Chains A and B, each alone.
Chain A
Amino acid sequence: MKDLSQQIKEVARSLLQDGKVDLVIGYENGSLPLRASPCFIRSAGEVERLIWNACCETNLATYLPDTNDRVGVVAKGCDARAIVVEIAERQVARERVVIIGVPCEGIIDRRKVASRLGWKEILQANLEDGRILLAGDGFEETLPLEDSLYEACLTCEQRTPPVYDYLVGEPIPAVDVIDPFREVTTLESQGADQKWAYFSQEFSKCIRCYACREACPLCYCPECFIDQTQPSWFGKTNDLSDTLIFHVVRALHLAGRCVDCGTCSRACPMGIDLRALNRKMIKDVWERYGYRAGLDLAAIPPLSTFKLDDPQEFIK
């Protein structure tokens, strides 16, 4: 990943000095190896904290609806797409946000890296020349960066933000990913019993912490369906039926909106493959309605519209 930190700092500095924004949200170094952490700066003197590297995983779009400040926000391709959806859904006013677009070559999947090391604790990590240099108690290991990327990054077709006010660095051309929905079609091809077995197994790990929902930039409902009472839709215990239904309905509520940034999966403390559901919805919406979320500020969300000849093969 190119080191675009310098350019990001310069844009942030000029935005703050010229009073164009009250706040810049970017990334700074984290307190643990392979971590970058969201960074909120309000004065030009603080811009030296800003960094850019393959550890900048958090989708910063999630902070935008909660503030009334004029905000400059560092945004990767997926983050910018989430911002586009937030603007299209009127959660964020376009004039209030200055998008500092950063073309992204992929983010490190910390779980993948940890798994490759047999879950030994990593005490030091350095990124250089497309490699990750790792060290821990009694071991050193080097991993190629491209083998350590997050799953969503491997099928990312939009590495350059589709909408931005500043673009830092050179745009990365859109990639035509071969068979981007491979995992989904594999699951689709299995029998009902196998599918049920897979999803029951995977989602029985869920502890109902709702980190996925809180981390998602597009789960912003003041009252989530699962919290509704009098009457309540579904239960909140770890009961498998209630748990799986929570995730199915959340995926449905994100249909045509989810940009596959992967924040939910990363936030999940139990490492559940939440994207299996979201990718399915993305595939359906693309194949049936020719729509991809987050590319066009003026696009009408697919469930808020219709075509007279929408496919209806499933209707008697």
Chain B
Amino acid sequence: MAAREQVAVQEEQVPARAEWEPRVIAFLCNWCSYAGADLAGVSRIQYPPNIRIIRVPCSGRVNPLFIIKSLQQGADGVLVSGCHPGDCHYISGNYYARRRFALLKSVLEYVGVEPGRVHFSWVSAAEGVKFSQVVTDVVESVRALGPARTLVRAELRSRKA
């Protein structure tokens, strides 16, 4: 009955910007990107601590629904990173992933999720520096957009970071 009220609810209750830190979920493939993140760590490279890493065997394992569910559950941004094309540990997982992610990113932006929330990268095990740059990029891009406000569930919207 309250079909028209629902849309109005979306505008309520955004947390104060000053207190908020972006929360970015990062799906990293075990063989390349996760190792690249580890290399960044042992090299003592500083980068924003706002990412929460989920290790997956391959970027091809990442179901687009993981990304959508992350956004719905309150992630302000999502990063998926895998091996460079041609270097996939499972030969072709990242090729399939590439097509899937292209369509996912495209449709999310089409319905109004801000470009700059969902990111994809190829980071190899040797690219510690690149990993830190990617994360810095992603976090700053999300910070500029503010807390998640499109797909996030209404009752999660008002939480403080």
Using CB atoms and an 8 Å cutoff, list the residues of chain A in contact with chain B.
187-188, 192-201, 204-205, 225, 233-235, 238-242, 244-245, 248-249, 251-252, 255, 277, 280-281, 284-285, 288-289, 302-303, 306, 308, 310-312, 314-316
**What is the bound-complex CA distance between A285 and B99, given in angstroms?**
9
Asked whether any CB of chain A lies closer than 8 Å to the CB of B159, the reply is: no
B85-112 to A contact mask, C-beta < 8 Å, 1/0: 1100000100110111111111111111
Given contacts A200-B7, A248-B107, A315-B98, 18 further A-B contacts (CB under 8 A): A188-B110, A192-B150, A194-B112, A196-B150, A199-B112, A200-B6, A233-B65, A238-B3, A242-B72, A251-B107, A255-B103, A277-B107, A280-B107, A280-B110, A284-B107, A288-B102, A310-B102, A316-B137
Are B107 and A315 closer than 8 Å at their CB atoms?
Answer: no
Find chain B residues with CB under 8 A from A249 CB. Answer: 64-65, 68
Do A306 and B99 touch (CB < 8 A)?
A: yes
- Is B111 in contact with A199, judged by CB distance below 8 angstroms? yes
Q: Are B98 and A310 in contact (CB-based, < 8 A)? A: yes
Residues of A within 8 A of B110 (CB): 187-188, 195, 277, 280
B50 at the interface (CB under 8 A from A): no
Which residues, 97 to 152 on B, are CB-close (under 8 Å) to A? 98-115, 119-122, 134, 137, 150-152
Chain B: CB-nearest residue to A231: B69
CA distance A310 to B65 in the complex (A): 22
Instruction: Assess the B6–A240 pair: CB atoms within 8 A.
Output: yes
B4 is an interface residue with CB less than 8 A from chain A: yes
A22 to B110, CA, bound (A): 46
Task: Tell me the complex Cα distance, A281–B7, Å.
Answer: 25
Across the A-B interface, the 5 shortest Cβ-Cβ residue pairs: A196-B112, A195-B112, A306-B95, A316-B121, A199-B111
Q: Which of B62-94 contact A (CB under 8 A)?
A: 64-65, 68-69, 72, 85-86, 92
Give 9 CB contacts A-B under 8 Å.
Answer: A192-B114, A195-B111, A242-B153, A249-B65, A277-B107, A277-B111, A284-B107, A303-B96, A315-B101
Determine chain B's interface SS by DSSP, over half rule: helix
Number of B residues near A (Cβ < 8 Å) is 45
The main secondary structure of chain A at its interface with chain B is helix
A235 to B68, alpha carbons, bound, how many Å? 13
Contact partner of B68 among A248, A280, A289, CB < 8 A?
A: A248
Chain A, residue nearest B72 (CB): A241
Q: Which residues of A contact B104 (CB under 8 A)?
A: 252
Most chain A CB neighbours (cut-off 10 Å) among B6, B108, B119: B6
Q: Tell whether A314 pairs with B105 under 8 Å between CB atoms, given A192-B112, A249-B68, A306-B96.
A: yes
Task: Tell me, in angstroms, the Cα distance from A224 to B96 when the chains sit together.
Answer: 22
As a 0/1 sequence over residues 10 to 25 of chain B, the CB contacts with chain A under 8 angstroms (1 = contact) are 1000000000000000
Which of the listed residues B3, B72, B92, B106 has the most CB atoms from chain A within 10 Å of its own CB? Answer: B106
Q: How far is the CB of A35 from chain B (nearest CB, A)?
A: 28
Q: Say yes or no: B3 contacts A306, CB within 8 Å.
A: no
Assess whether B39 is interfacial by the CB under 8 Å rule: no
